[in-house]
Structure formats: C-alpha cells, structure tokens
C-alpha cells in the first residue's frame, strides 16, 4: 500500500511540476504593451497622393503623419497624438491642434510596421492678412500617451486660416489609425 501512495504522490509532483513549467510559456504570449516614443520613428507622408493641397484656398485638405515601430518588439498605439504647430511668423506662436470626434482604435505594430493619422487643414491665400493666417514651420508630434515628441519640419509650404482660439476650428487631427 505504501508503494501505491508513493506512486500517487510522485505522479502529483510530476503533474505539479509540469503545471509550474507551463506558466512561463503562457506569460510569453502576453498581449503587447503600448509603443513608447523611443520605439518609434515619425514623419510626414510625402507621396503625391498624400501631400496636402496647400496652393488652393477653396476647401480643406489633409496631411498625414506616420509612426513606424523601429523596436524589436510588438507594441500598440491607441488614441490621439499630441500635435503642436510652431509658426514661421513672429505673430504665429504655437498652435495646439484640437481632436476630431472620431473614436480611436487600437493598432498593433509588429517591428517595422507603420500606421498614420490625418491632420485636416484649411489653407488660405497668400494675400490673406498676416493676422488671419498661420504659416507652419514645424510640428511637435507626441505619440499617444507619451510625453516626448518628435520635431518634424513642415515640408509643404502654404498657410492656414488662423483659428487657434476657435472652439471648432477647420484645422484638427484624427486618431492614430484612422
């Protein structure tokens, strides 16, 4: 009878040991964590179909900023980037863009994957009085839920209707991934 108890106890130890060794394998399959600024690189989309139409002043246009996962791990982005436009004119200052009403989605980025977000702009004619236009020079772009930003030089020229104090300006940004 002792040998049966010993065999049962030994089997329980073996099963318990297998369960303990299985735990780390499930931890390796944990969901990816959010992307940090250091995991990413950023820039403006420069393709012909992605360039904003800054030479016209009849309608809104869009520019796109991309984030690429340059890390060796999978990570996620969800929400709105922070975007501060810095003006080229002394009177421009910095304009923090407001968010659209679109709902964010969670995007998973494998190493090397890219996701973007759109910025809607309302260009104005060059003849618009200086006090009514904002001339972009650079954009300070902060990934969602981060505090460090990328400094991106504005490559498209033109000027935007200055509405930095408006409640619903015609220049605003969408969430990452939309």
CATH number of 122's domain: 2.60.40
pLDDT at position 29 is 65
Query: What token pair was written down for 32?
Result: 């990816």
Domain-embedded: residue 166: yes
**Do both 4 and 74 map to the same domain?**
no
pLDDT attached to residue 66 = 98
* Tens-digit pLDDT string for the chain (178 aa): 444 444 444 444 444 444 444 445 555 568 999 999 999 999 999 999 999 999 999 999 999 999 999 999 999 999 999 999 999 999 899 999 999 999 999 999 999 999 999 999 999 999 999 999 999 999 999 999 999 999 999 999 999 999 988 989 999 999 999 9
Answer yes or no: do 120 and 159 share one domain.
yes
Expressed as residue numbers, the domain containing 106 is 37-173
Q: Is residue 178 part of a domain?
A: no
The pairing of strands 98-99 and 172-173 is parallel
Q: What pLDDT score was predicted for residue 5?
A: 40
Residue 99 covered by a domain = yes
- Give the pLDDT of residue 30: 82
| Structural domain count of the chain | 2
Do 9 and 82 lie in one domain? The reply is no
In a shared domain, residues 45 and 108: yes
Residue 104 CB partners (closer than 8 Å, separation 6+):
78, 79, 80, 144, 175, 176, 177, 178
pTM value is: 0.83
Q: How far is the C-alpha of 171 from the C-alpha of 78, rounded, in Å?
A: 21
Same domain, yes or no, for 45 and 132? yes
């Amino acid at each position: 009878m002792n040998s049966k108890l010993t065999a049962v106890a030994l089997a329980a130890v073996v099963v318990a040991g297998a369960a303990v060794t299985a735990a780390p394998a499930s931890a390796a399959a944990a969901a990816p964590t959010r992307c940090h600024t250091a995991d990413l690189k950023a820039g403006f989309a420069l393709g012909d179909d992605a360039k904003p139409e800054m030479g016209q002043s009849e309608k809104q246009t869009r520019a796109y900023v991309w984030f690429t996962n340059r890390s060796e791990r999978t990570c996620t982005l969800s929400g709105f980037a922070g975007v501060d436009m810095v003006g080229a004119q002394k009177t421009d200052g910095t304009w923090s863009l407001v968010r659209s009403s679109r709902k964010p989605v969670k995007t998973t980025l494998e190493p090397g994957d890219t996701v973007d977000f759109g910025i809607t702009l309302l260009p104005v004619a060059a003849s618009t009085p200086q006090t009514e236009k904002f001339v972009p020079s650079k954009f300070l772009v902060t990934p969602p839920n981060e505090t460090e930003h990328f400094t991106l030089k504005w490559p498209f020229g033109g000027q935007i209707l200055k509405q930095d104090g408006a409640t619903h300006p015609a220049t605003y940004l969408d969430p990452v991934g939309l």
